[in-house]
């Protein structure tokens, strides 16, 4: 069905996303921050990236911008639970940088899967 790279610093959320996506038939690769995610994508590009926005080492905004500049056709879903100002500003920036979809945590898993299916075609 396709390969998805999940970039998320929270281990529980990575595990949940992996389980849901694998149950739906996708192959999943995980990264715990934007640095690792960018490296993994460069080594073996995925069909879709799901990235958190607030992470240590390299945040989602920088990750999206770098990957979109280097790989303009990369497909990205951004997720965020916020930060000091809440998730909305981060998700708006993600859309501005070219994310196909954005989701505020906690999000509906079915809605996320629907978005994944639509983006993956």
The whole-angstrom separation of Cα 68 and Cα 76 is 9
Residue 121: pLDDT band by 50, 70, 90 thresholds?
confident
Inter-CA distances, 18 with 3, 87, 119, Å: 11, 22, 17
The pLDDT of residue 116: 98
Residue 86: pLDDT band by 50, 70, 90 thresholds?
confident
The pLDDT of residue 82: 76
Residue 87: pLDDT band by 50, 70, 90 thresholds?
confident
Q: Which domains does the chain have, with CATH numbers?
A: 3-120 (3.40.50.2300)
- Contact (CB, 8 A) for 70 and 26: no
What is the distance, to the nearest Å, from the Cα of residue 19 to the centroid of all Cα atoms in its chain? 15
- Contact (CB, 8 A) for 53 and 95: no
pTM for the full predicted model: 0.96
pLDDT for 85 beyond 80: no
The whole-angstrom separation of Cα 18 and Cα 30 is 8
- Residue 110, helix vs strand vs coil: helix
**Which is nearest to 67 in space by CA: 91, 92, 36?**
36
């Amino acid at each position: 069905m396709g390969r998805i790279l999940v970039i998320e610093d929270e281990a529980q959320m990575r595990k949940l996303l992996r389980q849901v996506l694998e149950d739906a038939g996708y192959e999943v690769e995980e990264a715990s921050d934007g640095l690792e995610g960018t490296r993994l994508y460069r080594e073996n590009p995925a069909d879709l990236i799901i990235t958190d926005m607030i992470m240590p080492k390299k945040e989602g905004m920088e990750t999206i911008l770098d990957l979109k500049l280097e790989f303009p056709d990369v497909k990205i879903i951004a997720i965020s639970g916020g930060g000091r100002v809440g998730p909305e500003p981060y998700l708006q920036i993600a859309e501005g940088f070219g994310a196909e979809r954005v989701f505020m945590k906690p999000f509906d898993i079915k809605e996320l899967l629907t978005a994944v299916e639509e983006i993956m075609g």
